[in-house]
């Protein structure tokens, strides 16, 4: 116990871990909230396109200013990401190209242009160009307190705007046509929500990188969707999952040597998604399998009870026993006779006679009549 407490104390006293952990948690919360709207609006790939489109903006910001200051580079990334988003909207609106095709077009063109610019920058005979390629996969270990402050401030601004326009964004997600009929500026709200998504993606490029940033947008929301059918709960759960993965990824990368933080965060998110897909109530695969198995067993039990009722109708004595071989013959379509009879006996609906035959009890007869819809009518 003392060893564990000492380990935790050492971790929290670690300045680098504290800085990276706070940045990852802030990033996870912001992207978890905005990702919920992107997933519900079926715009999951928009995050991928924006993050890849931001790469040439980072390169151009460096070429124009010669500075590697985080605010300068993030401003360039935001401008390029926003330009890519406008290009996608324009292509979809003015051509016959579908939305997914426009996303793929922007993603590949902007990312390719960014790689060309990065290659040119890496060949420049200046020392300041070193390190820009870390934006491809992220390098959370380079985060400084001022970077964390930038992430926290921009993330807080995003959350405040989401809270202010909560009703409008909610209506935009589920029924934009109705919102338009009510007089809401749907186009402006769409642009605002997309701008917030661009901001939440851009602030995470230094931590997770261009290639993996889309996972920070999609994964928390996809996992949260498995646990609830309410938007408010989904947004809260998604933010929690994003923060949990960010903190866990930062902690794991600090404990294990040579383990990059960005990819580790994405792996933590993947684990959360897998657990949610399997274990979430109502939607989880395990719970679905259990419900299906329970329903199948209930159907088999009711079918055996119905077979006994049919046989009882053929005799003056409803308590007349019937061999199990007859029930097995009648149950070729649903099977499980032996186990169903045992379950029915435990419930007091059937009994086994001394001769080894099976018959309905009075309670079983009443239940069989109820299932058949005959109520209290006699056999």
Q: Report the alpha-carbon distance of residue 115 to residue 219 in Å, rounded.
A: 26
DSSP 185-233: -HHHHHHHHHHHHHHHHHTTHHHH-TTTHHHHHHHHHHHHHTT-S-HHH
- List per-residue pLDDT tens for the chain, 379 residues long: 555 455 556 556 677 777 888 888 898 999 999 999 989 988 878 888 888 888 888 888 888 887 777 778 888 888 888 888 888 888 888 888 888 788 888 888 888 988 888 888 877 766 455 566 667 666 776 777 887 888 888 889 999 999 999 999 999 888 888 888 888 898 889 888 888 888 888 888 877 777 778 888 899 999 999 999 899 999 999 999 999 998 888 888 888 877 888 888 889 999 999 999 998 888 888 888 888 888 888 888 888 888 888 888 887 777 778 888 888 888 765 567 888 888 888 888 888 887 788 888 888 888 888 887 765 444 4
Instruction: Note the pLDDT of residue 131.
Output: 61
Supply the DSSP symbol for 127. Answer: G
Pick the CATH number of 287-372 from 2.40.50.140, 1.10.10.10, 1.10.287.70, 1.20.960.40: 1.10.10.10
CA angle 22, 206, 160 (to 5 degrees): 55
pLDDT of residue 165: 93
H helices then E strands: how many in the chain? 17, 2
What was the pLDDT predicted at 90? 86
The architecture (CATH level 2) of 12-276 comes to Orthogonal Bundle (1.10)
The pLDDT of residue 378 is 47
**The token pair that represents 208 in the structure block:** 């997770």
pLDDT at 127: 45
**Helix (H), strand (E) at residue 351:** strand 350-352
From CA 132, how far away is CA 139, in angstroms rounded?
10
Q: Which pLDDT score, from 0 to 100, does residue 220 have?
A: 93
- What is the residue-wise DSSP string for 121-163? HHTSS-GGGTTGGGGTT--GGG--HHHHHHHHHHHHHHHHHHH
Q: Please list the residue range(s) of the chain that carry CATH number 1.10.10.10.
A: 287-372
What torsion, rounded to 10 degrees, do the Cα atoms 32, 34, 35, 41 define? 150
Please give the Cα distance from 82 to 361 (Å, whole number): 73
Distance CA 84, CA 210 (A): 14
Return the DSSP state at 375: T
The CA R_g of the chain, rounded to the nearest whole Å, is 31
Residues of the chain with CATH 1.10.3470.10: 12-276
Q: What are the helix (H) ranges across 67-98?
A: 70-94
Length reported for the chain: 379
Number of neighbouring beta carbons within 10 Å of residue 6: 10
Pair 210, 139: CB distance under 8 Å: no
């Amino acid at each position: 116990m003392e060893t564990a407490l000492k380990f935790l104390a050492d971790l929290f006293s670690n300045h680098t871990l504290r800085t990276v952990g706070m940045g990852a948690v802030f990033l996870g919360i912001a992207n978890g909230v905005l990702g919920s709207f992107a997933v519900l609006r079926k715009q999951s790939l928009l995050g991928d396109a924006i993050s890849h489109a931001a790469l040439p903006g980072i390169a151009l910001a460096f070429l124009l200013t010669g500075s590697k200051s985080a605010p300068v580079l993030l401003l360039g990334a935001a401008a390029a990401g926003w330009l890519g988003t406008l290009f996608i909207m324009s292509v979809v609106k003015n051509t016959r190209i579908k939305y997914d095709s426009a996303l793929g077009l922007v993603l590949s063109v902007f990312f390719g242009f960014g790689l060309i610019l990065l290659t040119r920058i890496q060949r420049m005979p200046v020392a300041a160009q070193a390190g820009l390629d870390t934006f491809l996969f992220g390098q959370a270990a380079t985060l400084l307190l001022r970077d964390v402050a930038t992430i926290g401030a921009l993330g807080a601004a995003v959350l405040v705007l989401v809270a202010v326009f909560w009703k409008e964004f909610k209506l935009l997600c589920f029924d934009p046509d109705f919102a338009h009929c009510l007089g809401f500026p749907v186009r402006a709200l769409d642009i605002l929500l997309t701008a917030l998504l661009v901001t939440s993606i851009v602030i995470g490029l230094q931590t997770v990188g261009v290639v993996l940033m889309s996972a920070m947008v999609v994964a928390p929301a996809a996992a949260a969707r498995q646990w609830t059918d309410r938007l408010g709960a989904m947004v809260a759960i998604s933010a929690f999952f994003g923060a949990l993965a960010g903190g866990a990824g930062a902690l794991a990368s600090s404990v294990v040597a040579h383990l990059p933080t960005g990819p580790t965060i994405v792996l933590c998110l993947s684990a959360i998604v897998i657990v949610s897909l399997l274990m979430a109530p109502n939607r989880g695969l395990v719970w679905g399998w259990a419900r299906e198995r329970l329903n199948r067993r209930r159907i088999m039990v009711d079918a055996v009870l119905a077979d006994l009722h049919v046989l009882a109708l053929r005799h003056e004595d409803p308590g007349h026993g019937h061999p199990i071989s007859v029930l097995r013959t009648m149950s070729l379509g649903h099977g499980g006779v032996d186990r169903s009879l045992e379950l029915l006996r435990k419930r007091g609906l059937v009994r086994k006679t001394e001769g080894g035959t099976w018959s309905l009890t009075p309670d079983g007869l009443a239940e069989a009549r109820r299932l058949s819809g005959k109520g209290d009518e006699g056999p």
